């Protein structure tokens, strides 16, 4: 493979999220989020893992920022925790804001650009008790929370992301019940889709009213949807439905000011359109400065349901499907290599999603705000970790980014997921995505081989030539 250089000013970063790394879930006035509650449900999270102490980042901010600086990162994407900033969704908690203020100062001192996400899934439990994202009121509470964070950090933070992956916080959380709050109610899930988008629009306005020069965006997890049989009309319809639920239901209202008509029709039995009020789409489609793309894999889909396999729950609670109205769709194997998450490795899919946004929703600058892979790392006797698979995964996806740039995509940066090993939601701590290893017994951080390599890439703004094995 030949060496390649990225455009001048390309942003090289790494990403994390509050609940996945902070720990300290009851410190300094923080109250429970839906994830704290969810972790208590037997079988909800592998191993009964919880968000405490996670990677203990709350107490190790300085060490972690030093680590980023040693790696030569340009930017750090993190999220603020709503239940720290407005515990119980009530009055502002200065101690919570102070934590993020210290983090931002430490980053700026090391010339690392803070890249702040307001919502990475930790809804205050109190709001869930009032209906959560199925309740329209939550969108207005989110705008108030955004206002508080902008008020405290807007003098130092320019890049703002409202939501991370609203697909997960709606369909995966309220229909499939795989994520907190663990509800399996398709009607609530489709309401959550709309209310999250409304929350995004209201928060965008709240950010801009205090900070007109802010760069505001949203992050979506996008997937190319590939039919198992491109000649089979039923498979093509499965593709249409899944593309609608995964990609278009978010992209169209954000960038075209309307929901895709076919999906509105598919979701009518679940009462989707009754949640859409006058002016909502205008609020949702407020022009953005940038779009975050999270990419991990493609969805290879068949319209034929999988044969009933004997149920082996291994102690996991039963969960449903996020594909409201298309629950019959299955995901057959096509023999591609897979990561420890059992996700296909398909770098070309990243090229496809970037090209798709470029062509169908033109004019919006893009950042890959997450990309990376979980693999089982083993620590060598000397403490080093040769995570060649992760390194290869990231390298192949960076080559896909470069190909997209060459094809005319306005891609301006890449954030590796994740800076460090962390709480991988329903999978607990067993799945490791970090380029930095965390020993959960001692909380010692060790950069893996991928981190050292990524550091060179960031410093050189280029990928060196590689010799194919
Ligand atoms: O860990 C998550 C992250 O919080 C959101 N995007 C996908 C990652 C891997 O599952």
Residue 141 has pLDDT above 70, yes or no: yes
Residue 308 pLDDT level (bands cut at 50, 70, 90): low
Quote the pLDDT of residue 468: 59
pLDDT at 195: 99
Q: Give the residue extent of every domain in the chain.
A: 15-459
For the Cβ of 417 lying below 6 angstroms from any atom of ligand 1, the answer is yes
End-to-end CA distance of the chain: 11
**CATH 3.40.190.80 holds for 15-459:** no
Please identify which of the residues 147, 165, 389, 395 carries the catalytic annotation: 165
- What are the pLDDT digits (tens) for 223-242? 999 999 999 999 999 999 99
Contact 153, 101 (CB under 8 A): yes
Alpha-helical runs (H) found in 176-279: 186-210, 233-243, 249-256, 261-266
Q: Is 165 in the pocket of ligand 1 (CB under 6 A)?
A: yes
- Give the CB-side neighbour count of residue 109, counting CA atoms within 13 A: 9
Given a contact cutoff of 8 angstroms between Cβ atoms, the answer to whether 194 and 274 are in contact is no
pLDDT digits (tens, 9 = 90+) for 350-403: 999 999 999 999 999 999 999 999 999 989 999 999 999 999 999 999 999 999
| pLDDT computed for residue 467 by the predictor | 63
**Mean of the pLDDT values across residues 139-144?**
98
How many other C-beta atoms are found inside a 10 Å radius of the C-beta of residue 241? 22
Taking only the tens place, the pLDDT of each residue in 24-61 is 999 999 999 999 999 999 999 999 999 999 999 999 99
Those residues whose C-beta lies under 8 Å from the C-beta of residue 116, and which sit 6 or more positions away, are 77, 78, 79, 80, 100, 149, 153, 157, 159, 160, 161
Taking the C-alpha atoms of residue 444 and residue 454, their distance in angstroms, rounded to an integer, is: 20
- 308-324 average pLDDT score: 82
Q: Which two tokens stand for residue 316?
A: 């996991």
The C-alpha torsion from 55 through 58 and 63 to 67, rounded to 10°, is 60
What is the pTM (predicted TM-score) of this model? 0.98
Q: How far is CA 151 from CA 44, 180, 329, in A?
A: 36, 29, 45
* Token pair of 129 as six digits: 């008790």
Residue pLDDT, tens place only, 447-463: 999 999 999 999 999 99
Output the pLDDT for position 306: 80
Beta carbons within 8 Å of 206's beta carbon, 6+ residues apart = 143, 144, 146, 147, 150
Distance 140 CA to ligand 1 centre (A): 26
Task: Flag whether pLDDT at 307 surpasses 70.
Answer: no
Res. 469: pLDDT tops 70? no
- Do 267 and 341 form a contact (C-beta atoms < 8 A)? no
What's the length of the chain? 469
Determine whether 370 is an active site residue: yes
Asked if residues 195 and 166 have their Cβ atoms less than 8 Å apart, the reply is no
> Among 167, 417, 434, which is best to mutate for testing ligand 1, by the most ligand atoms less than 8 A from CB?
417
Query: Is 220's pLDDT higher than 60?
Result: yes
Burial state string for 153-181 with b = 16 or more CB within 10 A and e = fewer than 16: bbeebebbbbbbbbbbbbbbbbbbbbbbb
Q: Give CA–CA dist 134/11, Å, rounded.
A: 36
**Ligand 1 atom at minimum distance from 417 CA:** 8
Q: Which protein residue's CA is at the shortest distance from atom 1 of ligand 1?
A: 424
Q: 115 with 159: CB under 8 angstroms?
A: yes
Q: Given pLDDT bands bounded at 50, 70 and 90, which one contains residue 142?
A: very high
Residues 21/84, Cβ–Cβ less than 8 Å: no
For residues 308-331, average pLDDT? 86
pLDDT of residue 1: 83
Give distance in angstroms: CA of 77 to centre of ligand 1. Answer: 13
Among protein residues, the one whose CA lies closest to atom 4 of ligand 1? 17
Q: Which of 296, 370, 372 has the most ligand 1 atoms within 8 A of CB, as the residue to mutate? A: 370
Mutational pocket test of ligand 1: of 14, 119, 165, the residue with most ligand atoms within 8 Å of the beta carbon: 165
The DSSP 8-state label assigned to residue 327 in this structure reads: T
Cβ of 17 closer than 6 Å to ligand 1, yes or no, is yes
Give the pLDDT confidence score for residue 466 in this predicted structure: 75
Sign of CA dihedral 135, 173, 114, 61: positive
Can you read off the two tokens belonging to residue 352? 């496809």
Q: Which of 370, 389, 395, 424 is catalytic?
A: 370
Question: Band of the pLDDT at 198, cuts 50, 70, 90?
Answer: very high
Query: Could you read off the pLDDT of 427-449 as tens digits, one per residue?
Result: 999 999 999 999 999 999 999 99
Instruction: Read off the pLDDT of residues 164-177 as tens digits, 9 standing for 90 and up.
Output: 999 999 999 999 99
Average pLDDT over residues 184-197: 99
Q: What is the mean pLDDT of residues 331-356?
A: 97
- Rounded to 5 degrees, what angle do the CA atoms 311, 228, 469 make? 95
């Amino acid at each position: 493979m030949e060496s390649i250089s990225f455009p001048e000013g390309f942003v090289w970063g790494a990403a994390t999220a509050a609940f996945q790394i902070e720990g300290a879930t009851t410190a300094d006035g923080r109250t429970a989020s839906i994830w704290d509650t969810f972790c208590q449900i037997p079988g909800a999270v592998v191993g009964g893992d919880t968000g405490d102490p996670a990677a203990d980042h709350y107490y190790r901010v300085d060490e972690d920022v030093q680590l980023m600086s040693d790696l030569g990162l340009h930017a750090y994407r993190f999220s603020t925790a709503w239940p720290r900033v407005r515990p119980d969704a009530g009055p502002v908690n200065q101690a919570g804001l102070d934590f993020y203020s210290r983090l931002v100062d430490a980053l700026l001192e090391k010339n690392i650009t803070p890249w702040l996400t307001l919502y990475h899934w930790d809804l205050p439990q109190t709001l869930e008790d009032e209906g959560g994202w199925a309740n329209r009121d939550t969108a207005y509470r989110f705008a108030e929370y955004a206002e508080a964070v902008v008020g405290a950090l807007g003098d130092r933070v320019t890049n703002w992301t409202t939501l991370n992956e609203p697909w997960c916080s709606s369909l995966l959380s309220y229909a499939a019940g795989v994520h907190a709050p663990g509800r399996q109610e398709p009607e609530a899930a489709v309401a959550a889709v709309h209310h999250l988008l409304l929350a995004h629009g209201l928060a965008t306005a709240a950010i801009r009213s205090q900070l007109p020069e802010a760069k505001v965006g949203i992050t979506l997890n996008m997937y190319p949807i590939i039919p198992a049989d491109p000649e089979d009309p039923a498979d093509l319809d499965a593709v249409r439905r899944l593309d609608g639920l995964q990609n278009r239901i978010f992209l169209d209202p954000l960038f075209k000011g309307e929901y895709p008509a076919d999906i509105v029709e598919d979701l009518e039995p679940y009462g989707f359109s009754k949640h859409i009020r006058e002016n909502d789409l205008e609020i949702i489609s407020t022009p953005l400065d940038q779009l975050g793309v999270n990419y991990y894999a493609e969805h290879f889909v068949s319209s034929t349901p999988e044969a009933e396999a004997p149920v082996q729950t291994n102690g996991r609670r039963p969960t449903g499907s996020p594909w409201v109205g298309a629950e019959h769709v299955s995901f057959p194997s096509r023999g591609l290599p897979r990561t420890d998450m059992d996700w296909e490795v398909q770098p070309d899919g990243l090229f496809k999603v970037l090209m798709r946004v470029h062509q169908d929703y033109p004019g919006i600058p893009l950042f890959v705000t997450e990309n990376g892979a979980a693999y089982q790392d083993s620590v060598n006797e000397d403490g080093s970790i040769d995570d060649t698979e992760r390194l290869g995964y990231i390298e192949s996806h960076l080559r896909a980014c470069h190909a997209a740039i060459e094809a005319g995509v306005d891609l301006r940066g890449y954030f590796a997921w994740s800076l460090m090993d962390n709480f991988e939601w329903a999978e607990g701590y067993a799945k490791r995505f970090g380029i930095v290893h965390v020993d959960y017994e001692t909380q010692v951080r060790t950069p893996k081989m991928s981190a050292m390599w990524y550091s060179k890439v960031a410093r050189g703004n280029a990928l060196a030539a590689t010799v194919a094995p």
